[in-house]
Chain A
């Protein structure tokens, strides 16, 4: 059974810092890995999708990397802003069904 772990569980940083969120998974036989953002009480917004054959994806200030063999992905957020405050979830697609971690709760304070 796929287990997905996200570290840290919570993070509080001052505005402008570059930061890294980590996601690890136990079964490296995956098709993709997707990073999501979730605001309090809201649904999930897709940020980046990395296929298993890819090493990284970039969108604006976000960069996600994937090392399938070691079972790890990182989400790098450059020049963080208060509007980045949210919970960030990674989901691993081992079949048709994504498996989620518990998320990293991020607060960026002015």
Chain B
């Protein structure tokens, strides 16, 4: 296992289309995070899973966004009816164990809505 993997790396979609991103965390990690990052900003928290349970969602996660982690392994993030304001880098991270452990990030999925 070489780290957190995200797919696709880049996605260009037309406004109004639905898109889905996938994240494969480090295999033994039980916690998985999604963040969104726009140009010149730090990553903003979207949602967090512990195993298959989605424990927290940011107010940034509108009702057009949904995330799942069905078997406590990989996760998907779906955006419905995309808007130009959704254009951003979507980052996934994972960590293991108690609070204070190191988080590892994937390479991100760059979404461009045209």
Residues of A whose CB lies within 8 Å of any CB of B are 4, 6, 31-32, 34, 36, 41-46, 49, 51-52, 89, 91, 93, 95-103
Contact = CB atoms under 8 A, between A and B. Distances in A.
B54 interface: no
Interface in B16-48: 31, 33, 35, 40-45, 48
Nearest to B102: A49
Contacts of A46: 102-105
Given A96-B50, A97-B48, A97-B56, A44 B99 contact: no
B28 to A, nearest CB: 16
Among the interface residues A31, A52, A95, A97, which one has the most CB atoms of the partner chain B within 10 A?
A97
B80 interface: no
Contacts of A93: 99-100, 103
Given A31-B100, A42-B107, A46-B105, A103 B42 contact: yes
A98 B103 contact: yes
Among the interface residues B6, B44, B101, which one has the most CB atoms of the partner chain A within 10 A?
B101
Nearest to A91: B103
Contacts of B105: 36, 43-46
Given A99-B45, A103-B42, A51 B100 contact: yes
Given A34-B102, A98-B103, A42 B48 contact: no
Contacts of B4: 43
Contacts of B107: 42-43
B99 A31 contact: yes
Contacts of A44: 43, 91, 93, 105
Interface string B1-24: 000101000000000000000000
Nearest to A103: B42
